[in-house]
Amino acid sequence: MIQQQHLYRPTILPVPEGTPRPLWSVMIPTYNCANYLRETLASVLAQDPGSEVMQISVVDDHSTKDDPAAVVEELGRGRVDFYRQPQNVGYIKNFETCLQRSRGKLIHLLHGDDCVRDGFYQKLQRGFKENPEVGAAFCRQIHMDERGHWTHISWLEQPESGILNNWLERIAVQQRIQTPSIVVRRDVYEQLGGFDRRFSCWGEDWEMWTRIAAHYPVWYEAEPLALYRRSSTSLTGNSVRTGKNIQDLRKAVGVIRGYLPSERANKLAKTALRNYAFYALNSAKELLSAGDSYAARNQLREALLCHSSLSVVNSSLKLGIKIFSHIMLSGIRWTQPANS
């Protein structure tokens, strides 16, 4: 057994003996996104091989602004299970519920506002069938905006589909996988545990994919078959405005360091921190352009806490002058507005 008792990682119990085991569990966590759920469900149902092969289940985190149950009834017509949390538990614990309620041998966590393209399940299944030792398989992902317009495609990890080389060191320095693009064997979650509860807003997925890479080979599908929706709140949410997102990513770097070869751990951790320093600086620039100097300042501060290389410091100084000038010219407060 790989798993050890861990205070922050829930144990994912095996499926009880005698329970029917489909190959797939498509588990769809939702929260106030019923307007997108129709598209999500339609993309899965279009590839549905039948209930004996695929479990499809929506797990709602006690939505308050819409009615996902009605959408499931409308589109699922009895084919899709629905479970509503009795109270809001937060998205990480809702993920945990998804894993615990899954019965399939392969688990696909598909956010209720994301989608899959034709061939997703067939092509990722091939990765596991041809390579039984892999713990997870993922594909390139297409990023889209709230209207469903494609904005960019994730980088090409290698020209041909297959098991990735040196994957642990590559994933350890930067998040490279969006959740709707990856499928994980259920027994891997049983061995390694669920998503780490220490992360309140960012980093829990990156930590999980890196944890898997530290213990199992990972298979890659070069064709972009998953669509990840980037919400407008990704830069306006409170975690970004306060800098909590980068604090969580720094925490993730510390956890991930423990998965790495001792002779490479420090260097890789520094590379990861430098990557997220520049990520924070880019976020600060976007926020300043949008007129949010409070949030820009917090992202700038977190960038410097990530890494103090000359390039980061120089970029921070230039950006800091722009932020200060914006505050002076606008006559706005340096502190967070009371209604934030």
Within a domain: residue 91? yes
The CATH number for 40's domain is 3.90.550.10
Q: Does 183 share its domain with 301?
A: no
Q: Does 144 share its domain with 290?
A: no
Residue-wise DSSP of 172-233: TTS----GGGEEEEHHHHHHH-S--TT-SSSSHHHHHHHHHHHHS-EEEEEEEEEEEE--TH
CA distance 234 to 88: 20
Residue finishing a domain among 231, 264, 285:
231
Question: Sign of the C-alpha dihedral, residues 154, 155, 159, 163?
Answer: negative
Residue-wise DSSP of 27-54: EEEESS-HHHHHHHHHHHHTT---TTTE
Q: Tokens 């992202």, residue?
A: 299
Of 130-144, 201-215, 236-250, the one with minimum mean pLDDT is 236-250
Q: Does 269 share its domain with 182?
A: no
Q: Does 190 share its domain with 221?
A: yes
* Nearest of 212, 213, 211 to residue 258 by alpha carbon: 211
Q: Which residues of 25-59 are buried (b: 16+ CB within 10 A; e: fewer)?
A: bbbbbbbebbebbebbbebbbebeeeeeebbbbbb
Q: Tokens 């930067």, residue?
A: 174
Give the per-residue pLDDT at 1: 44
* Nearest of 58, 118, 108, 110 to residue 85 by alpha carbon: 58
What's the token pair of residue 120? Answer: 């997703």
Whole-prediction pTM: 0.92
Q: Does 58 share its domain with 152?
A: yes
CA distance 153 to 228: 10
Q: Does 82 share its domain with 198?
A: yes
- Count of domains in the chain? 2
Q: Does 192 share its domain with 247?
A: no
CA distance 188 to 216: 9
What's the token pair of residue 76? Answer: 């699922």
CA distance 161 to 260: 25
Within a domain: residue 336? no
Q: Which domain holds residue 265?
A: 235-330
CA distance 142 to 155: 10
Of 90-94, 177-181, 236-240, 311-315, the one with minimum mean pLDDT is 236-240
Each residue's pLDDT tens digit, 160-190: 999 999 999 999 999 999 999 999 999 999 9
Whether the predicted pLDDT of 235 surpasses 60: no
Q: Does 239 share its domain with 219?
A: no
Residue finishing a domain among 185, 209, 231:
231
Each residue's pLDDT tens digit, 85-126: 999 999 999 999 999 999 999 999 999 999 999 999 999 999
Whether the predicted pLDDT of 338 surpasses 50: no
pLDDT band for position 340 (50/70/90)?
very low
Q: Does 124 share its domain with 247?
A: no
Give the per-residue pLDDT at 310: 85
Q: Are 259 and 214 in contact (CB under 8 A)?
A: yes
Give the per-residue pLDDT at 50: 97
Q: Does 208 share its domain with 70?
A: yes
Q: Are 3 and 190 in contact (CB under 8 A)?
A: yes
Residue finishing a domain among 231, 251, 280:
231
Whether the predicted pLDDT of 232 surpasses 70: no
Q: Does 172 share its domain with 312?
A: no
pLDDT band for position 308 (50/70/90)?
confident
pLDDT band for position 6 (50/70/90)?
confident
Whether the predicted pLDDT of 67 surpasses 80: yes
Angle between helices 310-330 and 262-289 (to 10 degrees): 20
Whether the predicted pLDDT of 275 surpasses 90: yes
